């Protein structure tokens, strides 16, 4: 990298973990699929971690999922990561793209306003007018670049795009070719080089907004990314992330473990719609992801420190939950209130009692 990246707010994965990738490349003895920067085993170690090489674990989840994802990318089908919001789909796609293709920046952000121009290519209109269509006036978008250079292209939130825009992926994925009809001669057809493939992510909460066509679904292998299944792992992650954020915000009190336990348990129970001892409850309409738990933990810490000069307690959780979990939905607020009224007092422990006692802090 020639640029100075020190003051980037968030450098891409291949920059953040450049030294780890370098070590893995040197140590890599496995077979590389054509066009890949690393072998499959090395790419897997990049994601799941390798203590011997000092490679950190970057994604908490099933190893089998990573295996399937990598093998899929080595075949002729694209990889579709689906799941609830906040399950680190985009992070996983970024990590895999960086490991496999060496760059994670060929990214299309899907949205209601995404057009084919932003996916395939557009024109430099000044040049187009003066010179006519040529490779000089062509402005390649991520898909064209990825195909021409043999890289992984990331398509975020694909189901946010209108179906006709989604379908522009059909021929690049099946025939592995992109035609540029404005040009003539060999430039009119861009053939995908080895190493090209697509990782798309989609949000299950968007299901039904823009349903994918069967033709496109057939060209992807679907992988569902689940919230973290293990309580202790999730608690550790929330603690570490919250501590990092709090330090960044100038809070000098570390979050209390017992408060975080209550917070994470609450999030898990409301997310899974069952209590830890197996009682069925209502599922909250709002997203109760680990990422949300981190942001609540952050807010709790900030409240506690700047309002009272202490780490923040269960009462702060209640105040913050109203904003995160309930958002603007009165139904969710009612569900949350019912949870605090009837489930919280069943638990033992000081923080659970405090949570129950603070239930009247919920608005409305």
Partner 1 sequence: MAVAFIGVRHHSPACARLVRETIARLRPAYVLVEGPADFGDRLDELLLGHEPPVAIFSYHRDGERVHSSWTPFCGYSPEWIALHDGRAAGAEVRFIDLPAWHPALAGRANRYADADRRYAEVAERLCREFAVDNTDVLWDHLFEIGDADGLGERLDAYFDLLRGEAEAGEDDTEREAYMASWIRAAEDAAGGRPVLVVTGGFHTPALRALIADGPRAWPRVPSPPDGALGGSFLVPYSFRRLDAFTGYQSGMPSPEYYRRLWESGPERAAEALTETVVTRLRERGQRVSTADLIAARTLTEGLTRLRGHRAPARTDILDGLVAALVTDDLDQRLPWTSRGPLAPGAHPAVLEMVTALSGDRVGRLHADTPAPPLVHDTAAELERLGLDRAGTVALKLADPRGLARSRALHRLRVLRVPGFVRDEGPRTGADPVLKERWTLAAADRDPARLSALIEAGAYGPTLADAAAAALDERMAGAGTDMAALAAVLFDAALCGCAGQSDRIAASLAAGIAGASDIAGLGAALGVVLGLWRHDRVLGTARSPLFGTVVAGCAERVLWLVEGVRGGPAPADPGRLHALAATRDALLHAAGPLRERAGLDRDTALGVARRVAANPDVPPDLRGAAFGLARALGDTADPARAVRGAAGPRTFGDWLAGLFALARQDVLDDGSSVLGVLDEMVTALADDDFLVALPALRQAFAFFPPRERETIAGRLLGRRGAAGSARALLRTAGDPVLIAEAKALERRAGQALAAAGLLPGGTP
Backbone φ and ψ of 191, nearest 5°: -90, 140
Nearer to partner 1, 218 or 257 (CB): 218
What does the DSSP assignment read for 11-65?
A: --HHHHTHHHHHHHHHH--SPPPTT-SS-HHHHHHHHH-BGGGTBPP---S-HHH
Min. distance of Cβ 269 from partner 1 in angstroms? Answer: 13
Residue 280 interacts with partner 1 (CB under 8 A): yes or no: yes
Q: Which stretch binds partner 1 (CB under 8 A): 42-50, 103-111, 142-150, 290-298?
A: 42-50
Nearer to partner 1, 168 or 221 (CB): 221
What does the DSSP assignment read for 64-120?
A: HHHHHHHHHHHTTSEEEEEESTTSSHHHHHHHHHHHHHS----EEE--TT--HHHHS
Nearer to partner 1, 256 or 356 (CB): 356
Backbone φ and ψ of 222, nearest 5°: -90, 135
Residue 63 interacts with partner 1 (CB under 8 A): yes or no: yes
Interface residue with partner 1 among 151, 303, 335, 356 (CB under 8 A) is 335
> Is the separation of the CB atoms in 201 and 82 below 8 Å?
yes
Euclidean distance between CA atoms 158 and 160, whole angstroms: 5
How many residues interact with partner 1 (rule CB under 8 A)? 46
Q: DSSP label at 180?
A: -
Euclidean distance between CA atoms 148 and 141, whole angstroms: 11
Euclidean distance between CA atoms 330 and 336, whole angstroms: 10
Interface residue with partner 1 among 28, 62, 236, 258 (CB under 8 A) is 62
Nearer to partner 1, 61 or 146 (CB): 61
Interface residue with partner 1 among 68, 176, 193, 353 (CB under 8 A) is 68
Min. distance of Cβ 357 from partner 1 in angstroms? Answer: 14
Min. distance of Cβ 294 from partner 1 in angstroms? Answer: 22
Min. distance of Cβ 80 from partner 1 in angstroms? Answer: 8
Q: Which stretch binds partner 1 (CB under 8 A): 112-120, 175-183, 247-255, 334-342?
A: 334-342
> Is the separation of the CB atoms in 180 and 138 below 8 Å?
yes
Residues in the chain: 364
Q: DSSP label at 149?
A: H
Nearer to partner 1, 247 or 341 (CB): 341
Interface residue with partner 1 among 124, 345, 353, 357 (CB under 8 A) is 345
Interface residue with partner 1 among 77, 176, 283, 353 (CB under 8 A) is 77
> Is the separation of the CB atoms in 177 and 164 below 8 Å?
no
Q: Site map for partner 1, 152-191, x if CB under 8 A?
A: ----------------------------------------
Could you tell me the maximum CA-CA distance found in the chain, to the nearest angstrom? 76
Min. distance of Cβ 278 from partner 1 in angstroms? Answer: 5
Residue with tokens 């890949």: 36
Min. distance of Cβ 164 from partner 1 in angstroms? Answer: 20
Nearer to partner 1, 74 or 128 (CB): 74
> Is the separation of the CB atoms in 191 and 147 below 8 Å?
yes
Residue 305's H or E segment, with its range, is none
Residue 223's H or E segment, with its range, is strand 220-225
Q: Which two tokens stand for residue 278?
A: 């197996």
Residues 83-142 that bind partner 1 (CB under 8 A): 83
Residues 221-250 that bind partner 1 (CB under 8 A): 221-224, 226, 229
Residue 282 interacts with partner 1 (CB under 8 A): yes or no: yes
Interacting residues with partner 1 (CB under 8 A): 40-41, 44-45, 48, 62-65, 67-68, 70-72, 74-75, 77, 82-83, 202, 204, 207, 217-218, 220-224, 226, 229, 274, 277-282, 331, 334-335, 338, 341-342, 345-346
């Amino acid at each position: 990298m020639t640029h100075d990246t020190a003051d980037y707010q968030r450098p891409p994965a291949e920059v953040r973990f450049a030294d780890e990738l370098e070590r893995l490349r040197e140590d890599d003895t496995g077979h590389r699929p054509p066009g890949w920067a690393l072998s499959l085993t090395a790419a897997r170690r990049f994601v799941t971690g390798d203590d011997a090489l000092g490679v950190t674990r970057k994604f908490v989840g099933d190893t089998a999922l990573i295996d399937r994802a990598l093998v899929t990318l080595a075949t002729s089908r694209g990889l579709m990561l689906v799941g609830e919001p906040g399950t680190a789909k985009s992070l996983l796609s970024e990590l895999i793209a960086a490991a496999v293709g060496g760059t994670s920046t060929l990214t299309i952000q899907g949205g209601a306003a995404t057009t084919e121009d932003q996916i395939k290519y557009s024109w430099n209109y000044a040049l187009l007018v003066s010179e006519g269509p040529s490779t000089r006036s062509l402005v390649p978008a991520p898909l064209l670049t990825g195909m021409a250079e043999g890289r992984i292209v990331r398509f975020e939130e694909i189901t946010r795009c209108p179906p006709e825009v989604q379908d522009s992926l059909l021929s690049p994925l099946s025939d592995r070719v992109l035609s540029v009809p404005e040009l003539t001669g060999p430039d009119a057809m861009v053939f995908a080089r080895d190493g090209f493939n697509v990782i798309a992510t989609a949000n299950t909460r968007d299901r039904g907004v823009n349903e994918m066509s069967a033709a496109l679904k057939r060209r992807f292998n679907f992988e569902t990314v689940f919230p973290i299944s293990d309580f202790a792992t999730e608690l550790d992650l929330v603690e570490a992330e919250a501590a990092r954020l709090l330090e960044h915000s100038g809070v000098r009190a570390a979050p209390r473990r017992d408060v975080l336990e209550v917070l994470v348990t609450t999030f898990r129970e409301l997310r899974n719609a069952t209590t830890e001892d197996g009682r069925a409850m209502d599922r909250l309409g709002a997203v109760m992801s680990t990422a949300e738990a981190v942001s609540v933990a952050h807010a709790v810490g900030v409240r506690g420190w700047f309002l009272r000069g202490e780490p923040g307690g269960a009462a702060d959780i209640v105040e913050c939950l109203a904003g995160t979990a309930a958002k603007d939905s009165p139904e969710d607020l009612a569900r949350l209130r019912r949870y605090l009224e009837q489930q919280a007092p069943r638990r033992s422990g000081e923080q659970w009692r405090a949570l129950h006692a603070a239930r009247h802090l919920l608005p409305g």
